Amino acid sequence: MTIVYPIKKPGKDHVKLSPYQYKKLAEKVFDRDGWQCVDCENTQMLTLSHKIHKGMGGGKGPGDTEDNCVCRCMNCHDEEERHLNGRKKK
Ligand SMILES: [Zn+2]
C-alpha cells in the first residue's frame, strides 16, 4: 500500500527560492541590515528570519522576499519561532 502525502500548493504570490537564490537573498538582506541582528545587534550566528512566518496563512504569505526577511541571530530567531508557535517567552 502506498501512502501519498498531500503537498500543499503555495499561494500564487508566495515566493519559494532555490538554495542558491536563498543564499543570495540572505546576503542582500544582511547587507541591508548591516550584518547584525535587528533585535539585539549580535553579529554572530546570523540567519535569515521572516517577518511574516512561512507557516502563517497556509503558505499564502509573501515568503522568501527581501521585504519579508530580516537579519536575526539564531537566539532571536528561535525566540521569534517560539513566539509564533504560541509558546510563552521565558
Ligand atoms: Zn539577536
Kindly report, residue by residue over 27-59, the tens digit of the pLDDT: 999 999 999 999 999 999 999 998 887 665 555
Cell 532571536 belongs to residue:
76
Higher pLDDT, 32 or 9: 32
Quick one: pLDDT at residue 38?
96
Give the distance (Å) from ligand 1 centre to CA of residue 45.
9
Q: Which CATH architecture has domain 19-84?
A: 3-Layer(aba) Sandwich (3.40)
Long-range (24+ apart) CB contacts under 8 A made by 19-23 are 21/64, 22/48, 22/64
Helices (H), 8-73: 19-32
Give the distance (Å) from ligand 1 centre to CA of residue 65.
20
pTM as predicted: 0.71
Count other C-beta atoms under 10 Å from residue 32's C-beta: 13
Q: How far is CA 21 from the centre of its chain?
A: 14
As residues whose CB is below 5 A from the ion ligand 1, the structure lists 37, 39-40, 42, 73, 76
pLDDT above 70 for 12: no
Give the distance (Å) from ligand 1 centre to CA of residue 42.
5
